[in-house]
Every structure is written in C-alpha cells, then in structure tokens.
Amino acid sequence: MFAQLAAASNPRLTIQTAAQVGIAVVWAAILALLAAHNTPPIIDWPNHMARHYLEYLWLAGKALPPYYEVHYHLMPNLGSDLVVPGLLLAFDTTTASKIFLVLAVFAYWAGPTAYILQYANGRPSAWAVCTLILPWLMAGTFFWGFMNFYSGVGLAFLAAANHIRMAQLERVPGWQFLPHAALLVLLYLWHLTSFGIYLVLAGSFMLDGFIKARTSTRLTALHANVPFILATLPAISLMIWVALQPKLNALSGGAVWSTPLRKLVLLFGYFGAYNLWVDIPLIAAWGVALLMLFRLETPRAFALDYAGIAALAFAGLYLVIPVDVGTTSGADIRMLPPLFLTAVALLANLTLARSARAGIALVVVLALTRYGVIHTAWSGMSADANAVQQHFAHAPPRSKVLVLTLNRASKTNFQSHVIAWAVPAGGAYVSSLFSYAGQQPLTLHRQPGEASVAAADGKLTFDAAAVEAGFDYVWLFNPEAADFTRPPGWTFVLGEGAGKLYRTHPQ
C-alpha cells in the first residue's frame, strides 16, 4: 500500500492514474472499516435496521412480533426500506447492514465523482478534484445515520450527471428519457431532499445553458430542455399527490428556525468526526493538499457556470431553510453535502500544479488517517450494542422495552437507539422505533405505560407502576447524567455509556 502511495507522487505517473490508485487504496480502507464493525455506532442506524428486520418478516410472510404493523405506502423516505429487507432474505442482519452501508458510501462517492468528471470533461484536474472528496465520504449526516438522505445525495448527483450527459449529445433517443424519468421517481421515493438536490443541479445546468446561449438561439435552448422537464413530471405529480395526503405529508406542521451562529458552527460539523484535536489538523492538512494540487493564479473557477450556480443555490437554501419542518429534523444541514460537492467541483477549472501528484498522495494519507481514527473510535463504542444483542438473544422472546430519553444524542453519546438491536436479536417491542406517518412503513401499537411518561424542563416523570405493568425493561438514555431515581424493584442489566437498561421486575 505504501509503495502505491509513493508512486502517486512519481512525476512519470499521470494524474489520472495517480488519482485512480489513490481512490482504490482509500476504498480498500473504507471496506475494511465497515467490515470490521458489526454494530457501528451510527446514531439512527440501529433503529432503521430494527424496522427493516420487521419489514423483512412481513415480506417473507412471517408473523410479526406483537404490537407492530408494516404497510408500505408511496412516500419520499423509502431508500433503505426498499433495499435492506430484500438483503435480509439472503443474509443475516449483520451482513445485510454492512452491505447497505457499503452501498450507501459507494453511492455518495460515485454520484459526485460522475458529476465532477462530466463537469470537467474528464480532464486531469477533474481526477485531482475527485480525490479531494475522499477524506470526507463519511460526513456529518453519515454519523447521524440519515442513510436515506446520505445515499440519496449520491443518487441525485448521478441523476444530474446523466441529465448532463444526455443534454450534451447531438441527438438523444427518445427512449432514454423513460429510464431517466423512472430514475427520478425512484429518487423521490428514496428521499425527498434527493429529488430536490437533483432539481437544483439540473435546473442550474439548464439556466447556465440559457444564459450562455446567444439571443437568437435561446428559444432553441428552451426547446431542447422540454423533454427533460417532461421527464420530471411523473416524480413531481407523485410529490403533489403525497403532499395532498395529510397522513403521508411529513412536511406538514410547524417550522423551527436556526440562529446564524448555529449555521456557522455546522459548516465545521460537516467535516468533524469524533476528536476535535484530530479533525482540525486534518482539515488544515487538506487545505495544504489543495494548495499542492492547484496553481495560485487568477482562476476561472468562479465563473458563473452551472456548478457555480448550483453552489450559490445550495448556500442560499442552507441559510433560509429551517432546522425542523414538521416531523423532519435537521432540514437545513441537508444542504451542506451538495454545497460542499458543487463548490469542490469548481476547482476542476484551476490549473494543476507541478506538485499535484504529491498533493494526491497527501490527500490519500489524510483519508487513511481519518478512517483509521474512525475505526479506533468505533472500536471503543460498540460494547453496549454487543451487550444488547447478546442479552436479548437469550432473554424471554418478544420482551417489551420502554425507552426514556433525557436529552438529544450526539456522535459520542450515540446510545439513544442502541436498544433497537433487541428487535432482530429477540423480537422485542421497542417503544422508540421510527414510525412517523409519511416517513416509515412501520406502525407501533403503543402500550398503556407509555401514556404515563411526560417531559418538562429536561426532566422525565412517569408512573412506575404503569410502566412495570406494561414493560419488561426500560432503556434510559441519559447523556448528561441527570438525576434519576431508580424505582424500587428495578434492577440494572447493562450499559456502559449514556444508555442504561433496567429490568422492571424479576425475570
């Protein structure tokens, strides 16, 4: 491996070859990282995998554990729900989870890579830019487990690259618009934001073509875009239909707005992993690598071409979109990945420096370092998930678990959904599984004890007797170590971090 990295800085090696070698080396590290961890501490992922296990049971015609129902609807948040249950027909839960995570990271890499290469016509500078995204493939939304959105970003860029490819042909066979329209419908069903990202990317390309066309040819330019606009109509029609269904519209409801300081801090959060003192030097070294890749000269990079228009659009959307919209949380941060990727694409307009090969080698070293740091962090964060799986594999089947949450999760205090591994391990009922109408195909039949739980001023109150009557276990997520008085008769079972599992009565 190190011989390959050294070769990447060899002047006799082409930029394209050096970049391809670097990409291969980094991907080997990513595959090793994901293969090494059966239960990676991705915040929401255990919750999603629990739902996918139930969907698999439904798909296979098997009886669901009590209190669960699965009903698929046409809704814009079905990415992993369309893939993982099928994987579970052939693989165990751990393997299916790993396969989808690999596919998600691959999509996040392949889509922007295709877009950048299309944007710069495969020039050597484009290959250099493609290496710049390697250290940040596991970005902020990946650690939160927004997997439908995360993988959908890659699919959106892939659809946009296909749009650009077709638009640049002298003549496009009419049949090619049918699979493109089908891809856009899938994109909408995968995740609503994915379809929105595609509309911005494709709209920026069409607007750029209209602006650059001579006055006499602008009508022709508009006419050429008509088939592409028509290709979006099935997805747009579906979007309108869903918006008119109150039970399926996840965006209905109030909005919560952000502060300017939060918007600024989250720009850094996109690049952060688990250790600030590692993240900052890596970001600084990435900036050095960028300077090694390109010459410091007056660039064409900031000409208002379609990637520049898209970057400005995503920046504007990031500033104005609320934090929460209806049941959708973190709405604004979903603009950061496409903003970063389109902004980086602009660098392909710069001239490569003589030190470009060494710059590629440095980027690869940074990527390997970052994924090594992530591996180290994950290795120390998997005890609770493993313990939950082992315990519920031997506990009475179909136990009922009430989840009490005292604060929001974070990348380091991630255990809010770790208890969801109890579902595939032992068919348990877990009260916190995602079952939002319009977002997931899962319905929970709530238990009486849940109605006794209330939250006020960061404190939880509940009727212990009602909880004991309705639940076998309580999972307490308490990242701030707030005061919690354990009711008499409750026994501690497991939990080394912010999550603790209690048995409500003797087994």
Average pLDDT over residues 351-374: 96
Does one domain contain both 401 and 358?
no
Query: Is 286 in the same domain as 318?
Result: yes
Answer whether residue 407 shows pLDDT above 90: no
> Do 403 and 336 sit in the same domain of this protein?
no
pLDDT at residue 11 in the model:
57
Domain boundary pick from 378, 406, 435: 378
Give the closest residue to 19 by CA, choosing from 34, 7, 33: 7
The answer, yes or no, to whether residue 454 has pLDDT greater than 80, is no
pLDDT above 50 (res 498): yes
* 388-395 mean pLDDT: 94
Residue 328's alpha-carbon distances to 92, 321, 353, in angstroms, are 30, 12, 44
Q: Is 70 helix (H, G, I), strand (E, B) or coil?
A: strand
Does residue 57 lie within any of the structural domains? no
Segments forming the whole domain that contains residue 340: 2-36+73-378
Do residue 313 and residue 425 come from a single domain?
no
Question: Considering 358, 378, 398, which residue would you say is the last residue of a domain?
Answer: 378
Residues 199 and 331 reside in one and the same domain: yes
Is the model's pLDDT at 389 over the cut of 50?
yes
| 141-173 pLDDT, tens digit each | 899 999 999 999 999 999 999 999 999 888 888
For helices 336-345 and 306-320, the axis angle rounded to 10 degrees is 160
Least confident range from 229-243, 327-341, 350-364, 376-390: namely 327-341
* 402 assigned to some structural domain: yes
Per-residue confidence (pLDDT) for residue 216, from 0 to 100: 64
Same-domain status, 364 and 404: no
- Say yes or no to pLDDT of 348 above 50: yes
On whether both 429 and 353 belong to a single domain, the answer is: no
Judgement on whether residues 154 and 221 belong to the same structural domain of the protein: yes
425 and 285 in a common domain: no
Beta strands in 46-121 (DSSP E): 68-70
pLDDT number for residue 15 = 92
Confidence of residue 457 (pLDDT cuts 50, 70, 90): low
224 with 346, same domain: the answer is yes
Assess whether 140 and 231 both reside in one domain.
yes
Instruction: Provide the domain count of the chain.
Output: 2
Least confident range from 88-102, 246-260, 292-306: namely: 246-260
Same domain, residue pair 259 and 303: yes
Residue 483 domain flag: yes
Residue 109 has pLDDT above 50, yes or no: yes
**Mean pLDDT across the stretch 443-448?**
88
Least confident of 80-94, 211-225, 262-276: 211-225
Task: Tell me, yes or no, whether 206 lies in a domain.
Answer: yes
Residue 33: the pLDDT is: 97
Residue 2 has pLDDT above 50, yes or no: no
Instruction: Find where tokens 């139930």 sit.
Output: 54
The least confident of 361-365, 398-402, 466-470 is 466-470
- Residue 493's φ and ψ, nearest 5 degrees, are -110, -55
Tell me, yes or no, if the pTM score tops 0.75.
yes
Give exposure, 1-26, as e/b (b: 16+ Cβ within 10 Å).
eeeebebbbeeeeebebbbbbbbebb
Alpha helices in 122-246 (DSSP H): 124-132, 140-144, 147-167, 177-190, 192-212, 218-243
47 in any annotated domain: no
**Last residue in a domain, options 326, 355, 378:** 378
Q: Is 297 left (phi over 0), alpha (psi -120 to 50) or beta?
A: beta
pLDDT band at 301 (very low <50, low <70, confident <90, very high): very low
* Mean pLDDT of the region 379-384: 92
**Domain presence at residue 392:** yes
Mean model confidence pLDDT for the chain? 89
Read off the pLDDT of residues 23-45 as tens digits, 9 standing for 90 and up. Answer: 999 999 999 999 999 999 999 99
Q: Is residue 474 part of a domain?
A: yes
Give the residue from 494, 496, 492, 495 showing the smallest Cα distance to 504: 492
Domain membership flag for residue 59? no
Per-residue pLDDT, 98: 98
Euclidean distance between CA atoms 109 and 136, whole angstroms: 10
- Among 16-30, 402-416, 442-456, which stretch is predicted with the lowest mean pLDDT? 442-456
